[in-house]
Amino acid sequence: MTIYFDHNATTPLHPGVLEAMMPWLTEGYANPSSLHRSGRGARAAVEAARGQVANLVGAHPSQVIFTGGGTEADNLALAGVAAAARHPSRMIISPIEHPAIVDTADALAAAGWQIETVAVDDQGRVLCDDLAARLAERPCALVSIMAANNETGVIQDMETISRCCRQAGVPLHTDAVQAIGKHGFDFAASGAACASVSAHKIQGPKGVGALIVDRHLPIDAIVHGGGHEQGLRSGTLNVAGIVGFGAAAARLGEHRDQEIAHMRTLRDQLETGLDAMPGITRFSPHAERLANTCQFAVAGYDGEGLLMLLDHDDIAVSSGSACAAGTGEPSPVLLAMGVEPDVARGAIRVSLGPGNTLAEVQRFLLVLGRLAGGTGGLPGGISASVLTG
């Protein structure tokens, strides 16, 4: 059986979520915009799910704009605020953002926007003094800083960040895709003007997410059409996906505290084991991190090579962000933290889920210890060329 340690990339669909979705994939096929009885039934299911998502993230249901996932929510936040601004001006992001933010910011830069990057420390924490200084300099249309990082798991001090933004009168967007399941996120308390979330990171279906929006925020649609979702995201609603998102949110709300405690126990065991091994560099060890995430490098190994060796032992991990996988490039997140490129290239990310067990962590440590200590040799059929040194 595969040991699945890649929950920051995606999570298994919870059986209860699938059950909730099934009627809307079969007989409940009506368009929720249709006025007939079947359409009204689908609409009621969507609105119930909206309430469940709103409840999980401490928002009002009217603030939940369903999208086709976290990436689209991030795009809507930045490009939507840009679309509402009369002229290109300035946005501030952090260097540890997900590509959904970084690449959208790049596209805006190509359209004349000034994009600035706030500094982070060697643990990957945003330097709030730098943010405050940048905000004091010139007007700014939006700040976008993620609540928790997908690679290192580092949790940002959203209270201070949002206070900074509020004092400068600048709206804040936060990518809370990783935070909601493994830390918690409360939109009202966060002080953010908009926040991105995604269903498949919390045992819901892929291809559905939401931008939580304070409707005082000037923001325009980036997907135009029939005016769905208060005009902010046109397109026939993905009823089954949205119902699944709602069910996943409701389930998480009930179990999150126990699940976080369980994952933290396993993660601490994992890190105790790693710290006893030679040649391991753990990233962001001094920062507050998601309870399930541990990123590290093994001396002499290239991350993707080590990933394949672990895969050979039926252990699924990531070498960083799933979105950057296969590029062979060191993680920009680690580089922004000042990690040397050669060390960053060795990064492996373990992201645990509520279904993982201590036995799995122990087996992982055994396999890794054999590889890191070099005593067990390479598994058959794996070439030594995956080693860097």
Active site residues: 323
Residue 301 to residues 41, 78, 213, 341, Cα–Cα distance (Å): 55, 37, 43, 13
CA distance 210 to 50: 9
Residue 343 class from Cβ within 10 Å (0-12 exposed, 13-18 middle, 19+ buried)? Answer: middle
Nearest approach in angstroms of CB 242 to ligand PLP is 13
Question: DSSP string covering 311-346, please?
Answer: HHTTEE-BSS-GGGTTS-PPPHHHHHTT--HHHHTT
Task: Give 195 or 367: the residue with its C-beta nearer to ligand PLP.
Answer: 195
Task: Give 175 or 360: the residue with its C-beta nearer to ligand PLP.
Answer: 175
Nearest approach in angstroms of CB 161 to ligand PLP is 16
Closest CB to ligand PLP: residue number: 70
Task: Give 71 or 284: the residue with its C-beta nearer to ligand PLP.
Answer: 71
Give SS3 for 384.
helix
Residue 380 class from Cβ within 10 Å (0-12 exposed, 13-18 middle, 19+ buried)? Answer: exposed
Nearest approach in angstroms of CB 240 to ligand PLP is 16
Token pair 């490129």 in the structure block, residue: 341
Nearest approach in angstroms of CB 116 to ligand PLP is 20
What are the tokens at 354?
């509520």
Task: Give 103 or 157: the residue with its C-beta nearer to ligand PLP.
Answer: 103
CA distance 338 to 122: 6
Residue 272 class from Cβ within 10 Å (0-12 exposed, 13-18 middle, 19+ buried)? Answer: exposed
C-alpha angle 288/294/387, rounded to 5°?
A: 145
Nearest approach in angstroms of CB 100 to ligand PLP is 5
Task: Give 11 or 52: the residue with its C-beta nearer to ligand PLP.
Answer: 11
CA distance 347 to 298: 8
Task: Give 209 or 244: the residue with its C-beta nearer to ligand PLP.
Answer: 209
Nearest approach in angstroms of CB 244 to ligand PLP is 13
Task: Give 74 or 302: the residue with its C-beta nearer to ligand PLP.
Answer: 74
Beta bridge partner(s), residue 281: 297
- E-assigned strand segments in 3-161: 3-4, 64-67, 90-93, 114-117, 142-144
Nearest approach in angstroms of CB 319 to ligand PLP is 14
Q: What is the dihedral of CA 187, 175, 193, 140, to 10 degrees?
A: 150
* Binding residues for ligand PLP (CB under 6 A): 69-71, 74, 98, 100, 146, 150, 175, 177-178, 198, 200, 209, 322-323
Contact 386, 302 (CB under 8 A): yes
